[in-house]
Structure 1
Amino acid sequence: MTVAVASVIGAGTWSVASLRAPDALNYDIAAQYLMRNGFSTSGLSSVAFFPGKQGYAYTLATLYTGFGPSFAVALVGNAVALGLLVPVIGDTVVRLSGRAAIGWTGPAIALWPSLHFWGAQPLREAIIWLCCAAVINCIVRLVRHTSALPFVVAVAALAVLSTFRQYMSVVLAMALVITLLVTARSVGNRARAVALLIVIGVPAALLLAQTAGIQQVLNTELAEVSLSEAEAGSATGASADLSSPTAMLATLPLAALAVLFGPPIWLASSPTYLFGAVDGLAWFVLLGLAIRGAWQLPAVRRSAAVAPTVAFLLTMAVLCMIAGNYGTIVRFRMELYVLLLPLVVCGLTRRPPAPAPAAQSEERHEGAVESSYEGLAHGRH
C-alpha cells in the first residue's frame, strides 16, 4: 500500500514543475554522468557531491545502470524505501508497546502527505528516513537486550547515512551512546554496553574523525542550506543565532517553534508553503500523541522510549542551528517525524489492559532470570 501510494504521489508531484525540488535535477545529472563514465567522478562538478550527500548519486547511478536512466526508476526506488519503513518502524512499535499497536503503523506512514511529497521525489530523503528508522530500531533492541548484531546493523546504517546526510549520522551515533549509558539497569549491563561501544564504536568514531569533524559536518550542511535558500530566494531568519552562546540561547526557542510548527499559515505565499503550513499545524497533534504514547508504555518497556526521545531532541537542536529557510525546514522536519513515529503510533493505541495472571507470572519469571543472570555476572567478578 505504501509503495503504491508513494509511487502515485511521486509521479503526480514530479509532473507539476512548480512542485519539483530543484536539487533533484542535480542528482539526476550526477547519476547519469557516473553511469556513462564507469562511476568515475573525474571532471564532474556538482552540488550532488557535497561531502556527506554523494551516496544518493551513486545509488541512483546504480539503479540507472540496472534499469535505465529514467526518473521513473528513481521514483519507484524511493517508493520501495518508503515501503520498507513499515516493517522497520512496526518492529520498533511492537518492542515498545506490544502487537496491539502495530496496526496503526502502516496508515501512519501511507497516509501522511509530507512523507510522500518529499520522499517519493528523486531526493535523498526516503533512504535517509529508512536509515534513521533502522538505527532507532537497533537502539530499542539494545535497550531491551545487549547483543552485538543490532549494534553492527546500527553502525552499518550510520555508515550509509554518513554518505546521505552526514549530520544525521553524527546525531544518531550520539543518541546511541547516550541511550545505552542512560538506560543500563545495572553495572553489568553498563559494562557490556561500554564494551560494545569500545569494540565497534571507537573504529567508527575514528573513521568519522578522519573524514569530517562535527564542525565540518555542520559547515557542510550550512553551505547546502545556504544554496537552497539562494535557489528559493527566501531566508526566514528563523534559525538560532550562533554568533555567541548567549545569542544562541536567546534565539533557540523561536527557532524551535519555527522548526516544529512553521511556516505560519499567513506567510504561505505558494502551494509548497501552504502545504508546509498545514504540516506544521499537524505537529501540535503529533507531539500530543507522542507524549501520550510514551506515558502509557508498559513500565518494563518505558526505558526503550529514551531512544526516539533523545534522537528527536538532538535532531531538533541541529535543525534549529541550520534550518533558516521554511522550505528547508519542512523537508528536514520529516526526519523528526520518522524518529518520533514509534511513539506517535503507540499514542494512537489505547492503553493496553492489565496483563493476565499468566502474563504477569511470565514477566516476573523473565525479571527473575535477568536478575539471576546479573547476580551470576557480579559473582564472577
Structure 2
Amino acid sequence: MTSFSAIAVILLLCVSAGVIGSILRKEIPRTVSIFVPVMLAVTASAGMIVFRLVQDMYLLSDENVWHAQAMLVAQFLSESSGTAPILSEGKEGYPWIVGALYSISGNAPLVPITLGTLMFVLLVPICGGITSLVARDLNMTDAGTAKAIRWACYFVAVCPAIVIWVPRMLRESISMFLIGLMILWFLAYLERRRPLLLLAVGAAAAVMMTIRAQVGLGIIAGLILSAIVVYSTRFRHVFSRLLLIGPIFLVIFAATWAYVDSTSSLSAENIALRNRALSDASSAFEGGDEAYAATGIVDIVLFNLPRAAFGPFPTELTAGGGSIIVAAVSNVFWLTCILGACLFLPGRRRSLASGVGRVEKTRVRAFTVLIVLALTLLAILSITAGNYGLVVRMRLMPLVALVPAAAIGFQVWRYRHRGDELFLAQTVDSKLIVPRAVSRASHRTRRA
C-alpha cells in the first residue's frame, strides 16, 4: 500500500460525509443557514489536527491500543492472517471499522482521525435537526426555531469540551454521531410514524452496542423509557402515570444493572470504590490508589452521582493534573447546557400562563425524550466512569441530548423576559384549540 491509497480513502470519506450532510440538512428549515457553524466546525477540527501534528504527532495511550487492534483486523481482512483477532466484548466494533479502512489505505492513523473529524462536523446538522424537531413538536414560531437551531449548531461547532477530542483515534466522535442519529430518527418517528425510522434507530443501536456496549444499552433503555413516559401523558391523573412508569422503570433499571454487573463485575461496593476516587485523575482508566469503603446504595446516590454529574468541585481542583484542568474547563460548558435545559420548564409554564385564557393541551414529548435520555446516560456515566479523565470523555454522550434541550430552554427564557410570543396556538386534528370561555361564547353567538 502507498500513501496514495490513504489520500484516496480520505477523499472518499469527505465526499460521503458531504452526501450524508446534505441528507441530514433536510430536517432543518431552508430559511435557517448552518453554513457558518459547519465551516467553524471544519476550521476548529482542522486547527486541532494541525496542533496535534505540531505538538505530538505520535499516538498516545488508548490510541496505540486501537491502532494495534485495527492492524490485526486489517491483516485478517487482507487474508495475510487466517486467525480472527480476539477483541474486547462491547468494544470490538471500533477496531473492525478502523481495520476495514486500514485494509484499503494501509496502516495510516490519519484515516480514522479524519473519519472522527468528519463525524464531528456532521454532528452540527444532526444537533440542528434534533432542535428543529423539538421546536416543531412545541409549535414554536419560525423566528424562535431559527434562533434555537443556530444556538445548538454554533455551540457544537466551537465547544472546547467536544473539539478537544476530535484529532484523536478514539471512540468519542463516532459514539456521539451514532447517539445523535438515534435521537434524530426516534424524534422523526414520533412526528411521522414511519416504521423505517425505527429500523434505522435499531441499526444504529446495534452498531453502538459493538462500540460502547454500556452506552448503547443506556440509549436503548432511555428510548424505551422515554416512549413509555410519552405514552403515559395520555392519562390525566398523575397516579395513573406513576402506575405505568414505575414498574417499567424498575425492570429497565434491574436489567441494566444486571448487564453492567455481568460485563464489568461491578457491585455497589465497587462502584462506590471507583467513584470515590474520581478526584485522583492521573489516569483515564483507573481509580485512585486510596481505597474507600462503600456504605450502600444511599452512599452511591448521594455521593458518587453528584460528583460524576457536576464535578470537579472547587475543593477538588487542588489535586492538580491535566485531567482535572480539562474537566474544570469542560464543566463550564456542561453546566451551561444543564442550566439551559432547566430553564425550559418554568419558562414554558409562564409563557403559556401569559397568554389569553388557557391552552388545554401542550406537547412536550420530544423535549421529554431528550431529558430522559440525558438522565439515563448520566446514570450510566456515574456507574462506569473511573475518574475525571474518563468522566470528561463520557459526558460527551449525554451532551448530544442536552445541547438541543439547552437551545430550546434559553430561547424560552429569552422570549419570556422580552414579553414576545414564542409558541403558536396548539392544534389537534387540524382544529384550533381555543380557551373554553372563548369557545362557549362563540357557540352562543352562532346559536343566536
Q: Which category of TM-score, normalised to the shorter sequence, fits these structures?
A: 0.7 to 0.9
Larger deviation, residues 324-333 vs 152-161: 324-333
Q: Offset at 1:251?
A: 2.8
Corresponding residue for 1:196?
none
Contact preservation (8 Å) 1:141, 1:150:
yes
Distance 2:422 2:390 in 1: 45
Distance 2:209 2:377 in 1: 15
Corresponding residue for 1:96?
134
Distance 1:25 1:166 in 2: 21
Aligned sequence identity (%): 21
Distance 1:146 1:214 in 2: 32
- Residue 5 (structure 2) pairs with residue 5 (structure 1): no
- Residue 100 (structure 2) pairs with residue 62 (structure 1): yes
Distance 1:316 1:291 in 2: 15
**Aligned Cα RMSD in Å?**
3.7
Change (3 A) 1:322 1:368: same
Q: What SS is found at the alignment partner of 2:415?
A: coil
The two structures have a TM-score, normalised by structure 2, of 0.65
Distance 1:215 1:32 in 2: 31
- Residue 76 (structure 2) pairs with residue 37 (structure 1): yes
Runs (5+) with no aligned partner, structure 1: 188-204, 370-381
Q: Offset at 1:163?
A: 0.6
Distance 2:53 2:363 in 1: 42
Corresponding residue for 1:248?
297
Distance 2:48 2:195 in 1: 39
Q: Offset at 1:136?
A: 1.6
Distance 1:122 1:258 in 2: 28
Q: Pick the structure with greater CA Rg.
A: 2
Q: Offset at 1:290?
A: 1.4
Structure with bigger helix share is 1
Contact preservation (8 Å) 2:76, 2:85:
no
Larger deviation, residues 35-44 vs 265-274: 35-44
Corresponding residue for 2:309?
260
Contact preservation (8 Å) 1:240, 1:321:
no
Change (3 A) 1:233 1:216: closer
2:191 to 144, 158, 175: 144
Distance 2:105 2:202 in 1: 30
Change (3 A) 1:145 1:38: closer
Larger deviation, residues 255-264 vs 228-237: 228-237
Distance 1:117 1:19 in 2: 16
The two structures have a TM-score, normalised by structure 1, of 0.75
Q: What SS is found at the alignment partner of 2:340?
A: helix
Corresponding residue for 1:24?
63
Distance 1:8 1:342 in 2: 25
Kindly report which structure 2 residues correspond to 1:85-164, keeping only aligned pairs within 5 A, or say none. 85-98=123-136, 99-100=145-146, 101-164=148-211
- Residue 368 (structure 2) pairs with residue 319 (structure 1): no
Q: What SS is found at the alignment partner of 2:228?
A: helix
Q: What SS is found at the alignment partner of 2:427?
A: helix
Q: Offset at 1:91?
A: 1.1
Contact preservation (8 Å) 1:74, 1:122:
yes
Contact preservation (8 Å) 1:237, 1:325:
no
Runs (5+) with no aligned partner, structure 2: 1-38, 137-144, 236-251, 353-360, 434-448
Contact preservation (8 Å) 1:238, 1:254:
no
Change (3 A) 1:18 1:64: closer
Contact preservation (8 Å) 1:240, 1:248:
no
Distance 1:182 1:28 in 2: 42
Q: Offset at 1:337?
A: 1.2
Which residue identity lines up with residue 216 of structure 1 in the other structure?
S
- CA deviation vs aligned residue, 1:266-292 (integer Å, no higher than 9, x gap): 235233431211212443322111112
Distance 2:223 2:410 in 1: 26
Corresponding residue for 1:216?
262
- CA deviation vs aligned residue, 1:191-230 (integer Å, no higher than 9, x gap): xxxxxxxxxxxxxx9xxx9xx945334449x99x99x989
